[in-house]
Each structure stands twice: as structure tokens, then as C-alpha cells.
Amino acid sequence: MSNTAHTPARHDTVVRRTWNETKSAFKTTEFWVWLVVSAAILIASAVVDDADAGHSGFGADQAWSYVALVTVAYFLSRGIAKAGVR
């Protein structure tokens, strides 16, 4: 008899981690920046709009166009962040 203990055969296994998403959308800085910038655009539009005084102002139509542009940029940044995830 030998003095070595019997060890079961070891099988080399590969453990892979999978992710469905890089990070929850609410946990990203892009989300908070989008939210703050969108709110700032809408507040600026409400404060600066001098269309009644004969100026062209910064009306709601322009503000919502800028919010839409910022939203598209946010969606693109989330898509790029997820591009490396399978």
C-alpha cells in the first residue's frame, strides 16, 4: 500500500461568465447626464422664451428638438456600451 491518498480524476472545465447587459440603465452616468441635460434644456426654454416681446426666443419647439437630439445621443451611447456584450 502506498501512503498517498486516492484523489478523484480532475476534469478541466472552462467556466464562462455571461452578461445580458453591461449595467442597469439607471446605474449609468449617461442616464443621469441625459436626465439633467434634458431638464436643463426645458427649464432654459421656459425661462428664456421672450417670444411675446417680439424676439424669436428659445421656444418649446426648439427645446423639444434639442431634447430629442440628446435622447438619440443617449440611445447611441447605450448601444455602443452594449456592443461588446454577447
- The residue-averaged pLDDT of 4-13 equals 63
Residue 18: predicted pLDDT: 62
**Of all residues in the chain, what percent carry a pLDDT higher than 70?**
58
Residue 16 CA to residue 72 CA, distance in Å, equals 33
Domain map of the chain by residue range? 25-82
Q: pLDDT tens digits for 38-58?
A: 999 999 988 886 656 666 677
pTM over 0.95: no
3-state DSSP assignment of residue 28? coil
Residue 60 exposure: Cα atoms within 13 Å on the Cβ side: 0
